[in-house]
Structure 1
Amino acid sequence: MNELTILMTLATVHFVALMSPGPDFALVVQNATRFGRQTGFYIALGLSFGILLHSILSLTGVSYVVHQHPALFALVQVAGGSYLLYLGLGALRSVFSRWSLRQQPSTLADDPSLLLSSRRQAFSRGFTTNILNPKALVFFVSLMSSLVPSTMSVPGKLSALAILWSLSLAWFSFLAWALSTKRMQRKLNSASVYIDALCGLLFSGIGATILIQVLSAL
């Protein structure tokens, strides 16, 4: 298999994975819907740099070493699961607060765990959510080890990194843009509380599942 075919296969597999619902997808949906296009873009930027770092660590073998050492991988799982659970519980707490106060669905919550008041916070939320996701670590170790041979040229490996990063940024930025158009905002505004609830359940469910898996393996 020549390098061009490898890169095309890598791009296809990665793009399909990007479109699959998960913490990254949910984070963009929740925050682009709630806080608008700029926040959504900086979350997308943070997510794409998290993916870039995962790709570099996998390509250099660092992630493989972590994955092969149970204690190190367990620490990554605990950190990632705890962070996702924190995001999920924060979203659910905001939902319950809005329902209990009988606020309109369009009212923004003042929960500090959800409020993103700067570009830096939005970028950090995206980067942290991706880089602490242990499922992302396993995915990129598998992706790189199965599709990128060790004999691949340096330009080929750099191209692989560029493809993974640019596809991630393009997809999540498009998602943020599509969800923050005026027409879409009018449709989603009244459903924001339900979007928060679904995202909160997703984050909490994935985080709790990861932590349970770690505890059951002890």
Structure 2
Amino acid sequence: MNELTILTTLAVVHFVALMSPGPDFALVVQNATRYGRQTGLYIALGLSCGILLHSILSLTGISYLVHQQPIVFALLQLAGGSYLSYLGYGALKASWSSLRQPKINHTEAAQPSLLLSNRREAFSRGFATNILNPKALVFFVSLMSSLVPASMSLSGKGIALVILWSLSLLWFSFLAWVLSTQRMQNKIKAMAVYINLLCGLLFTVIGVTILWQSLLAIAQRF
């Protein structure tokens, strides 16, 4: 395949993966619907920067080396699973509090204790959610090794990185923008607590699954 074909295929595969439900998708939905556009956009920026770092590490072979070291990869799984479980616990706890006190309105519920109160915090949560997800590491190792040949030019690899980063930023920003419009906010206001609950369950299930896999991998080594 020529470089144009490779880059087009890479863009299509990556975009399809972006639209698939997962921790990144759930994080944008959860926070854009609950806390608004600015939080959603900075989470989108954090997620896309995490994807950029994963892409760079995969292109340089660092991610492959990590994946080939069972203990190191298991420890990454342990960290990632713990973080996603932590996000799930926080979301479930907030949802439970809201369901027990339904008279608290949406604005009052988003107090500083729960609200991502600044841009840095929103960006950091997006970045950490993506970079600590071991499934993302495996995806990018597979994507780069199967679609980007070692013989590809440096400019071609640079364009591939730009494509992966820009598609991620555009998709997650679009999602955050749509979910935070006034019309959409009015429609989902009554369902916000259930969206948060669903996202919390997704984080928890994925996090616990990753934790279980990491513990099994560590146990098999000893």
- TM-score after normalising by structure 1: 0.97
Query: Quick check: 2:35–2:110 contact (8 Å CA) kept in 1?
Result: no
Supply the AA of the counterpart residue of 1:87. L
Structure 1 residue 79 displacement after superposition: 0.4
Which residue number in structure 2 is paired with residue 50 of structure 1? Answer: 50
Distance 1:87 1:142, change over 3 A: same
Q: Secondary structure at the match of 1:191?
A: helix
Q: Moved runs in structure 1, 4+ residues, more than 3 A?
A: 102-105, 109-112
Q: Which runs of 5 or more residues in structure 1 are unaligned?
A: none
* CA–CA separation in structure 2 for the residues paired with 1:110 and 1:211: 30
Per-residue displacement from partner, 1:19-78 (whole Å, max 9, x unpaired)? 000000000001000111111110000000000000000000000000000011011100
Number of aligned residues: 217
Query: Quick check: 1:39–1:116 contact (8 Å CA) kept in 2?
Result: yes
Per-residue displacement from partner, 1:167-209 (whole Å, max 9, x unpaired)? 0000000000000111000001111000010000000000000
* CA–CA separation in structure 1 for the residues paired with 2:103 and 2:7: 50
Which residue number in structure 1 is paired with residue 60 of structure 2? Answer: 60
Query: Quick check: 1:94–1:109 contact (8 Å CA) kept in 2?
Result: no
Structure 1 vs Structure 2: percent identity of aligned residues? Answer: 72
Moved more, 208-217 or 156-165: 208-217
Supply the AA of the counterpart residue of 1:203. F
Q: Which runs of 5 or more residues in structure 2 are unaligned?
A: none
Which residue number in structure 1 is paired with residue 175 of structure 2? Answer: 175
* CA–CA separation in structure 2 for the residues paired with 1:206 and 1:172: 20
* CA–CA separation in structure 2 for the residues paired with 1:100 and 1:63: 44
Which residue number in structure 2 is paired with residue 193 of structure 1? Answer: 193
Structure 1 residue 103 displacement after superposition: 3.3
Per-residue displacement from partner, 1:85-123 (whole Å, max 9, x unpaired)? 0000000011111222333463524473x4200011110
Q: Secondary structure at the match of 1:190?
A: helix
Please give the residue correspondences for 1:125-204 in structure 2 after superposition, counting only pairs within 5 Å: 125-204=125-204
Distance 1:166 1:135, change over 3 A: same
* CA–CA separation in structure 1 for the residues paired with 2:88 and 2:169: 24
Query: Quick check: 1:37–1:180 contact (8 Å CA) kept in 2?
Result: yes
- TM-score after normalising by structure 2: 0.95
Please give the residue correspondences for 1:100-115 in structure 2 after superposition, counting only pairs within 5 Å: 100-104=100-104, 106=106, 107-110=108-111, 112=113, 114-115=114-115
Query: Quick check: 1:92–1:197 contact (8 Å CA) kept in 2?
Result: yes
Moved more, 16-25 or 207-216: 207-216
* CA–CA separation in structure 1 for the residues paired with 2:2 and 2:102: 60
Query: Quick check: 1:47–1:129 contact (8 Å CA) kept in 2?
Result: yes
Please give the residue correspondences for 1:26-37 in structure 2 after superposition, counting only pairs within 5 Å: 26-37=26-37
Moved more, 160-169 or 31-40: 31-40
Query: Quick check: 2:74–2:215 contact (8 Å CA) kept in 1?
Result: no
Query: Quick check: 2:78–2:215 contact (8 Å CA) kept in 1?
Result: no
Structure 1 residue 214 displacement after superposition: 1.5
* CA–CA separation in structure 1 for the residues paired with 2:68 and 2:88: 29
Supply the AA of the counterpart residue of 2:169. L
